[in-house]
Chains A and B, each alone.
Chain A
């Protein structure tokens, strides 16, 4: 938990020597509390105070990052329980589980499919994050061979999961220069796994079915010098997982309880459990299998939940084609607030009638809000018509304004003299009817 200026002052030499550049130690302490100064500016502070101050400045949930050639997946550093309080920061990595007891060719194909998977949502490319290689065989060579098959087609980060430390080590050896996650330390094996994590600079997952058990293990492992830990709360139901993840998040954020201040990993048995991981605090989510029709909604949901509530999702401004429009189809105008765009695009699409949809840059605001804020006016609309060469796409130059901004039509006729300005319905739901008669 962050210390106040006064608490920090008590840890400083209190000599007012001015070597830090501030007139007094108290002034310096206040600047430190406000994060406007660095402790290193004080040449006289004791090592003990330094340690204490560093500890207090650490985030309540440690940032753990997995790295491989060209990829990085981060989890942790979250600051709220509910997204509306600020935002959730690090999208939980979605990792696909691969068992090592399958033919190498099967593994290679699955890894290639995961590697290749990409989908587009409101102009954002969404991808899966990596693999969990699970030792079912219990055989180190088989594990390493499976890992080589994955690495032959993908360089995305991996999580190595095995009961045997020797198997894990075989995997780690093959991942030179990467930062993998090994899974999982428990009451029996934690010492061996901690030294493996240290030797190969890997992150370490800690498994336990109660808070006591988890906290006990993390403290012991931290004592061995391994700090990049991930918690795997073993739950026997969705209710149980929700209880554990909520308790851990609360303890970390509200009590600054360091022993549980780590990101979580969730082994989902199905898409429903993955949804719970996305909404309720998982930092890494393991999917039991790869299927595009499941990956797509989960990636979209993750994008939605991790959107900053202060900054709505925006659609790329531009000219969108709906139902294969021709030179005779009307041009509808709207803003680049994603919900506005979707309402309009959905209705037009559902109508089956062709239209051009001109999405203007209204800084992500809806029609009325943008109009009130001066971000959706005749000038901006005219600019978009020109910027996206809309005039070249149609013979019949008909521009349809949202009904809510009918007031803009006069001014827009002035800006676009060779266009016919029409006023459409106020609500998107009335567009199909409107398109039939236009």
Chain B
């Protein structure tokens, strides 16, 4: 029985956005990464083109993290003491991007400084040719102080700067504009708030080609269904032609999954949770896969085994059926 394949017609398309700049483009990266551009819902190759595959960023820190799971510290070993070495080790896992997360404090407990943030960023840029995402500690004032210094010291690199949210977008957007970077526009799991922040950012003169949207997510078991549906709705809106939602999406399943008790705690948990290491990696990997199925273009991960598994899944999802 010949069955007609049901295809939806979409008028809109997600913008293709490039992170990083090579020497010819005014930066120092050995290659750039382009995300977005799709003309259909995730991986529906029979319906429309998905020119750029979702990419994986690996999160490293400017110093050994105080609050990371022992499993992660084991996985990276000595590299966690040196952002340059960590970036190299991350690149060796085959990720597409590095995310450098700046800590709120220095190793001695004093507040992080612009000079230290710039030094860490430069160390990472020197150690790897991959494009770079730089996230502040997530406290609006400190973020501004550190990220502005980093942006100025890396002019022309097309870094992706975050977190750019309603509290601090003016400062982050201004420095991105002045120094040729991109911003990661984060809003708390809400379609309208995401659109609104994108409007505010473009009102300041930063073109949409330099905005990635971060709709925020929860880990599996911790609100992932909200993030999942917001992302599906944002992607549907983009395909239906709403220009303020036509941006690639970044989410941080690594951060979300590794702060759950399931990933963090190995002892005194119910036996039905199973093996700690495999459970933790499952938590991160399956959170990431769920979000990729709902439209994520960049997933930021922490464990090398999750990177391997997510990449294998992306390979399969990008196979165009014969």
Residues of A at the B interface (CB closer than 8 Å) are: 82-84, 117-121, 211-212, 215-216, 219, 235-240, 242-243, 246-247, 250-251, 254-255, 257, 259-260, 271-272, 275-276, 279-280, 291-298, 300-301, 304-305, 307, 309, 338-339, 342, 346, 349-350
Bound-state CA distance A349–B262 (Å) is 12
Chain B interface size band reads 35 or more
B169 neighbours in A (Cβ, 8 Å): none
Report the Cα distance A297→B221, complex, angstroms. 8
Stretch of B94-102, B119-127, B195-203, B313-321 with 4 or more beta carbons under 8 angstroms from chain A: B313-321
A247 and B46 in contact, given A257-B3, A280-B293 (Cβ under 8 angstroms):
yes
Q: Chain B residues with Cβ under 8 A from A349's Cβ?
A: 261, 265
Which of the residues A237, A240, A279, A292 comes within 8 Å of B272, measured between beta carbons? Answer: A292
Return B285 CB to nearest CB of chain A, in Å.
Answer: 7
Name A297's contact: one of B5, B286, B320 (CB within 8 Å): B286
B86 contacts chain A at the CB level, 8 A cutoff? no
Contact string against A for B residues 266-286, beta-carbon threshold 8 Å, 1 for contact and 0 otherwise: 000011111110110011011
If over half of A's interface residues share one DSSP class (helix, strand or loop), that class is named, otherwise mixed; here it is helix
Verify B274–A296 contact, CB threshold 8 A.
yes
Beta-carbon contact of A297 and B45 below 8 Å: no
Interface residue B229 (Cβ < 8 Å from any Cβ of A) = yes
**B43 interface neighbour in A239, A291, A339, Cβ under 8 Å:** A239
Cα A254 to Cα B6 in complex, Å, equals 9
Distance of A246 Cα from B40 Cα, bound (Å): 13
Interface centre among A235, A255, A275, A307 (most CB of B within 10 A): A275
* B44: interface (CB < 8 Å): yes
- Which residues of chain A are within 8 angstroms of B32 by Cβ–Cβ distance? none
Q: How far is the CB of B2 from chain A (nearest CB, A)?
A: 6
20 contacts between A and B (CB under 8 A): A84-B233, A118-B272, A212-B3, A237-B321, A238-B319, A239-B45, A242-B43, A243-B43, A246-B44, A247-B6, A259-B3, A276-B293, A291-B275, A292-B275, A293-B278, A297-B286, A300-B221, A309-B229, A339-B223, A342-B222
When C-beta atoms are compared, the residue in chain A nearest to B284 turns out to be: A297
Q: A212-B1, A242-B43, A243-B45 are in contact. Are A301 and B224 (CB under 8 A)?
A: yes
CB distance from A315 to the nearest CB of B (A): 12
Q: A238-B313, A251-B3 are in contact. Are A350 and B264 (CB under 8 A)?
A: yes
One digit per residue, 1 when the CB lies within 8 angstroms of any chain A CB and 0 when it does not, for chain B 181-214 equals 0000000000000000000000000000000000
Q: Cβ of B224: which chain A residues have Cβ within 8 Å of it?
A: 301, 304
Judge whether B226 is part of the interface by a CB distance below 8 angstroms: yes
CB distance from A70 to the nearest CB of B (A): 21
Residues in B3-47 with C-beta less than 8 Å from chain A: 3, 5-6, 8, 41-46
List A contacts of B316 (CB < 8 A).
Answer: 237-239
Q: Would B229 and A255 count as touching, CB distance under 8 A?
A: no
Partner of B289, one of A84, A275, A304, A339: A275
